[in-house]
Amino acid sequence: MNAKHYDVVIIGSGASGGSVAYMLSKAGFKVALLEKGRLIRRDEFSKDELAYCRRDLVTPNLFEEYHVIEEKVDGKWVGTPTYESGWSFWNGNIVGGSSNFMSGMFHRLHPDDFRLKSRYGEIKGANVVDWPISYEELEPYYTLAEKLVGISGHYIPHPYEPPRSTPDFPQPPTRENAVVKLLDKSCQKLGVTPLVTPRAVLSQDTPDRHACYYSNFCGSYGCSSGAKGSAREAFVKPALATGNLTLMTNSHVKRLHTRQKDRVAYAEVVDTVTGEERKVYGDTFVVAAQAHESARLLLNSANKDHPDGLGNSSGELGKNLLFSGGGSGQGILSKKRLKEIRFEELMQTGLFVNRSILDWYFVDDWWDGKFKGGSVEWMFEHQNIISRARKDNVREGRYIWGKELGERLVKRFSEGKSIRFEIFNDWLPNDNCFVSVDPKHKDKYGMPVGRLRVEGHPQDLKVGRYIAKKCEAILEEMGAEEIYSSVSAAPSQNLVAGGCRFGDDPKRSVLDRYCRAHDLANLYVVDASFMPTGGSVAYSWTIYANALRVADHLIKRLGKG
């Protein structure tokens, strides 16, 4: 075999690409895993707020690689490059991708998420369709991901908790802050059932990973203990140990090239450090570059046989882009008003809140009949010092400095603690949310950048606001002060799906039920872009599960070949 010809070439090493690489490598296939970013070792990760949250340590420089975001201004669509707006739709360009920086709150989709159109019918202005597969088809792979990723939690039966084939999670829950006693009691008083949050964070050591050491810096930061179930820890490392995986870092795929009309022949790759270009050949290609970037790659790979982009005979490529609807809110639990628990217990650092609410996942007593709702996650305010301090640096419209600022910061950090909720509800697919390639703007490699139109559906806001009021009532019952919430139509820059919708009808979808392009026999797309609808939870567990399902299919298919 030529050193640059592989059984399978995978583009992107995040949750989906890493999972497929693991399964195929374990099955004995020779796999190339192409990653645009570099490999960061476990012991290299730090909690440096400036480096990870305010600099481009793990994401491209926006003046070199960026997106153009279209928003409606005075009734017209206006595109603004992200180097001007400051928005970033990059989510961790390193081995393991954005899974390195997730908070790790894992939920399965509900069975009705797979049949949203059947359950609710047409929704005006929304392109809702049923999935071509059912929850029952994906459930074994949710279970497999649970084991391989390492999910901690405690299963409690609930009307909206999806059915399980195993009685509980592989590991017990991570340690909890005493605030859960107050939260649980307040929820119960209001007739709400709080659930223990399943979390892709180990609570106990495994042979090759350490348990959580409770730094309280999960979201936005890499894990230096190996406890977080990132693709890098759970899949790429063990895949490399097989000897069948070749990991190519700093390798940006510019285009996919076809030799025959229905087969991809090679990937055109540029070294992001040296600028050297090369070709990587394979029998099967798996795209896993994150939803908007996967669509961009296929659009930029247009040729004479596929003039509108690879896999785009339906005209659906890039359409029905999804984000996550919802919003957030918080309140301050102060020393003077705290009840049920001691203030010293509340102020203990590092421990999780570990509570989720599914009571409003489906809303049967609101609007005109049954309606799809959403989920809620509870947590403490992000521990970033800079962002917390900035909330107290203005008084009566002016910035404050010196002693006055210092006194206010001491009070904020020592006399109370902010507890926060985040709402996840469906971002309904619609005609004004899609990704295309920009006709003028190009990145530093000379490739047209992704142009994202990001309008949400009005229903997304109504659902989010309804749930926010419910959560504010819980905060009030807890005795919190300075309660507020914000539900926005702005897209969630770290939760992107859709754009390569899968389905059984080649005229209305890009991929088939196994995520193979209808138009090409050896091209698969396995990141969140396959999703026709996003559900009302974060996508991570579903991405892992579906990638394992597709990998299982590939093993059977390629094995027969």
* pLDDT at residue 365, rounded to an integer: 61
Q: Please give the pLDDT value at position 40.
A: 93
Query: Given CA atoms 296, 37, 50, 215 in this order, what sign does their dihedral have?
Result: positive
User: Global pTM?
Assistant: 0.96
Please tell me the predicted confidence (pLDDT) of residue 216.
Answer: 75
Q: Which two tokens stand for residue 227?
A: 């406890």
The first and second tokens of residue 162, run together, are 């999806």
Q: How far apart are CA 119 and CA 371, in angstroms?
A: 9
Note down pLDDT in tens along the chain; length 561 residues.
Answer: 345 799 999 999 999 999 999 999 999 999 999 999 999 999 998 888 887 776 788 899 999 999 999 999 999 999 999 999 999 999 889 999 999 999 999 999 999 999 999 988 888 999 999 999 999 999 999 999 999 999 999 999 999 999 999 999 999 999 999 999 999 999 999 999 999 999 999 999 999 999 999 987 888 888 999 999 999 999 999 999 999 999 999 999 999 999 989 999 999 999 999 999 999 999 999 999 999 999 999 999 999 999 999 999 999 999 999 999 999 999 999 999 999 999 999 999 999 999 999 999 998 765 555 678 999 999 998 877 777 777 778 888 888 888 888 888 888 888 899 999 999 999 999 999 999 999 999 999 999 999 999 999 999 999 999 999 999 999 999 999 999 999 999 999 889 999 999 999 999 999 999 999 999 999 999 999 999 999 999 999 999 999 999 999 999 999 854
The tokens of 505 are what?
């009808």
Could you give the count of Cα atoms lying within 13 Å of 545 in the half-sphere of its Cβ? 23
CB-based burial, 488-510: b 16+ in 10 Å, e otherwise: ebebbbbbbbbbbbbbeebeebb
Q: Measuring CA to CA, which residue among 513, 18, 506, 72 is closest to residue 289?
A: 18
Instruction: Give the position of tokens 């279970």.
Output: 143
CA neighbor of 374 nearest in space, from 109, 176, 155, 173? 109
| E strands, 321-382, in order | 325-334, 355-357, 362-363, 371-372, 374-380
Domains of the chain: 1-63+91-152+223-324+495-561 (3.50.50.60)
How far apart are the C-alpha atoms of 245 and 232, rounded to whole Å?
A: 13
The count of other CB atoms within 10 Å of the CB of residue 29 is: 22
CA dihedral over 554, 556, 558, 561, signed as positive or negative: negative
**Of 116, 110, 117, 119, residue with least CA distance to 139:** 110
Angle formed at CA 118 by CA 114 and CA 121, multiple of 5 degrees: 125
Identify the pLDDT of residue 186. 98
| CA 148 from centre of chain | 18
Amino acid at 98: S
Torsional sign, CA 469, 186, 178, 213: negative
Question: Phi-psi bin for 264: left (phi > 0), alpha (psi -120 to 50), beta?
Answer: beta
Q: What Å distances lie between residue 20 and 28, 234, 531, 543, CA to CA? A: 12, 12, 17, 11
In angstroms, the CA 325 to CA 329 distance is: 14
Rounded to 10°, the helix 540-560/135-145 angle is 100
- Strand 68-73 relative to strand 76-81, pairing: antiparallel
The first and second tokens of residue 538, run together, are: 């974060």
Sign (positive/negative) of CA torsion 528, 561, 134, 20?
negative
Residue type, 78: V
- What pLDDT, on a 0 to 100 scale, did the predictor assign at position 561? 40
Predicted local confidence at residue 411, as pLDDT: 81
Output the six-digit token pair for 197: 């949050």
User: Do 12 and 35 contact (CB within 8 A), yes or no?
Assistant: yes
Q: Are 39 and 236 in contact (CB under 8 A)?
A: no
Sort 285 into a burial class: Cβ within 10 Å, 0-12 / 13-18 / 19+: buried
Q: Is 286 helix (H, G, I), strand (E, B) or coil?
A: strand
Distance between CA 475 and CA 441 in Å, rounded?
46
Provide the pLDDT for residue 369. 57
**22: DSSP letter:** H
Specify the pLDDT at position 54.
66
